[in-house]
Amino acid sequence: MRLPLHPIIMPSAASPHAAAAADLALIAAMKDRGRRAAADDGWYLLLWGTLGAVIVVVQYVAEVRDWAPSVLLWWWQPVFLLCALLGAAFVVTGLVSELRWLAGVGAGWWALMAYFTARGALVPMDFLVLAAAVALLVAAPGLWLVRGARHVPVVEPV
C-alpha cells in the first residue's frame, strides 16, 4: 500500500524551488512567532519581578520593625540558591534564544551570589539589596521585552 506524501515533505518535480521557498518562508514565520512569544512573555518577568521586589521590601520592614522573629524571616530565604538558579535560568535562556543579552542578566545574578557569599552573614539591609536586584534583574528585563514586543515584525508564511 502506498501512502500519499504531503507536498512540503515531497515537493513535486515541477517546482522544487517554489517548495524550498515555501519551506523557508514557513521556517522564518515560525522563528518570528517564537521571537514574539518570547517577547510577550516579558509581562511575566515584569509582574513577578515587581511583586518579588515588593515582597522582599516588606520582608526588610518586618525584620527592621521586628514584626516576626528573625529566624522565621531568614529561614525561607535561601539567597545563595535563589541567585544561582535565577542566574542559570537567564544564562541558558540567553544562550538558546536570540535574546543573547539575557545571559548578561544571568551573570548579574551570579555576581550577586558572589557578593552574598563574600559577605558571609546576611544582615537586614541585604533584603533591600535583594529587592533592588529583583527589580533590576527580573522586572527591568521584563519591561524591556514587553516594550520590544511592539517592534518585532510578524512574518506570515507564503
The C-alpha cell that represents 83 in the structure block:
541567585
First and final C-alpha spacing in the chain: 33
Q: What is the pLDDT of residue 123?
A: 79
SS3 134: helix
Contact assessment for residue 75 and residue 93, using Cβ atoms and an 8 Å cutoff: no
- Among 26, 5, 45, residue whose Cα is nearest residue 140: 45
pLDDT digits (tens, 9 = 90+) for 89-109: 889 888 887 788 989 999 999
CB-based contacts of 77-85 (< 8 A; 24+ apart in sequence): 79/113, 79/116, 79/122, 79/126, 79/130, 80/113, 80/116, 80/117, 83/109, 83/110, 83/112, 83/113, 83/116, 83/133, 84/109, 84/110, 84/113
Q: How many CB atoms lie within 10 A of CB 142?
A: 19
Q: What is the pLDDT of residue 1?
A: 47
Q: What is the pLDDT of residue 154?
A: 47
Question: Distance from CA of residue 78 to its chain's centroid?
Answer: 20
Please give the C-alpha separations between residue 25 and each of 28, 31, 32, 34, 102, in angstroms, as whole numbers: 5, 10, 10, 14, 27
Q: What is the pLDDT of residue 108?
A: 94
Q: What is the mean pLDDT of each run of 10 residues along the chain (158 residues)?
A: 50 66 82 63 76 79 75 63 84 84 92 84 81 90 79 49
pLDDT digits (tens, 9 = 90+) for 140-152: 888 888 887 655 4
